[in-house]
Amino acid sequence: MSCVLPFINLEARTDGTMSVCCIMQETAKKDDGTEFNLAHGDTFSDVQKSEWLKNIRQDFKDGKQLEACKNCWKEEEAGIQSKRQRENFFWKDTPHDRLTVMDLKLGNICNSKCRICSSFASSQWAAEEIALNHLNKEKHLQFNRLGQWPNKNERFWEDIDEHLKHVQKLEFFGGEPLLITKHFEILEKCIKQGNARNITLSYNTNGSIYPGEYVDLWKYFKNVEIFFSIDDTYERFNYIRHPGNFEEVVQNLIKFKNLSMDKNKGSYNLGIFQTISVFNILDLDELTKYVDHYIEMPIHYNMVFTPKHISPKVLPKEVKKYATQKYKYYPEYIQKTINFMNGEDYDNKYWKRFIQITKFGDSYRSESFENTFPQLYAMIKDDWNKIQ
């Protein structure tokens, strides 16, 4: 089969919709064509019984490349190992007849409003998005309402009790998962059921929180993966991950690293997710230098596909050409990132949107793109001054 995930994985998204995985650009549908939604009382079991999932599984058995999964194909074309490839390898010896992995984004509660994000994944974004376009006020408020589904859908909590008996991996992304303390109730259920020792936990956190009162729960699990979203260093990090503070995040990383070194506290794998966007494409190596010198932690690249106005694919040709030349003799993993950037050119309307939204954000947040990213600004100065 071309992808294992439709057979073993389901994703709960922040707005209550569900899908096969976080990369898939399609949500689960009922037989009448409407979406399943956890905010409306639906469950994972409902999706598992659906014709929608049955058809997708058959398509994958037939080796079809679904349009909804094109982001994996595009990464592979650039020489980047896609989620499809990683998961196929990891789960190749696992029975493909039951829910083995649950990707649980338990709402959009977050304490950051990163430049690469939106209200879909952060409750902090709504006010700024409304200020940007008041006509979309109801849309953005609706995201926040839907993001409250974990507190309202009792069927979901009853339903996952049965699945937890067989699950081998639980993924908690965001929102900010360590801020959503309700997820610790799931861990307590696993411990009580006696199957925690068979389960790997995986987190993607912004690094702003060290959940000291809960870390003792983790020692009961097979392994705990914690990935920190860090895209750059110092003022560039603070700008991209507003209102994050780079030095405070580093101090938390040290706490997590110390925890991982205490074998009585459990088994851990720590890493950094560096999301590659317009903002940091010209400074890719700065974070690597810092981490190698001060933290010694593996870095994994995460490519921005959407929002399109943030993806490096949206950059003008002259900037892409400069970046390509700059990294010409850099390691293969950076070359693959450049291949991804050069793989296609997004419509110029998205470049215009990048400048407009970035300008608005600077005004709203009292920040300065020009001062924070002087090298990139110098290259796009004409467009910056021309586009309003």
What is the per-residue pLDDT across 135-163, written as a single tens digit (0 to 9) for each? 888 877 787 788 889 999 999 999 998 89
* 273, β-bridge pairs: 229, 300
Contact 228, 98 (CB under 8 A): no
Report phi then psi at 276, rounded to 5. -90, 120
Would the pTM count as exceeding 0.85? yes
Q: Please give the pLDDT value at position 123.
A: 87
Please give the DSSP secondary-structure letter assigned to residue 298.
-
Task: Give dist(CA 95, CA 116) in Å, integer.
Answer: 37
Give the closest residue to 209 by CA, choosing from 183, 240, 233, 189.
183
Q: Please give the pLDDT value at position 139.
A: 79
Tokens standing for residue 188:
């307590």
Task: Give dist(CA 88, CA 99) in Å, integer.
Answer: 15
Q: pLDDT tier at 122 (50, 70, 90 boundaries)?
A: confident
Mean pLDDT for the stretch of residues 101-124: 91
Q: Within the chain, what is the greatest distance between any pair of CA atoms?
A: 62
Least confident residue range of 135-139, 230-234, 248-252, 269-273: 135-139
Q: If you average pLDDT over every residue of the chain, what do you get?
A: 94
Question: For the chain, what percent of residues have pLDDT higher than 90?
Answer: 82
H or E element: which one contains 299? Answer: strand 299-303
CA distances from 158 to 24, 148, 173 (A): 26, 17, 21
Mean pLDDT for the stretch of residues 341-348: 95
Q: Please give the pLDDT value at position 241.
A: 97
Least confident residue range of 234-238, 245-249, 329-333: 329-333
Task: Give dist(CA 142, CA 123) in Å, integer.
Answer: 11
Least confident residue range of 32-46, 60-74, 126-140, 221-235: 126-140
Q: Please give the pLDDT value at position 1.
A: 52
Task: Give dist(CA 274, CA 166) in Å, integer.
Answer: 32
Contacts with 336 (C-beta within 8 Å, 6 or more apart), sequence order = 78, 79, 80
The residue to which tokens 């793989």 are assigned: 343
Q: Is the pLDDT of residue 338 over 60?
A: yes
Q: 183-193 vs 154-163: helix axis angle to the nearest 10?
A: 40
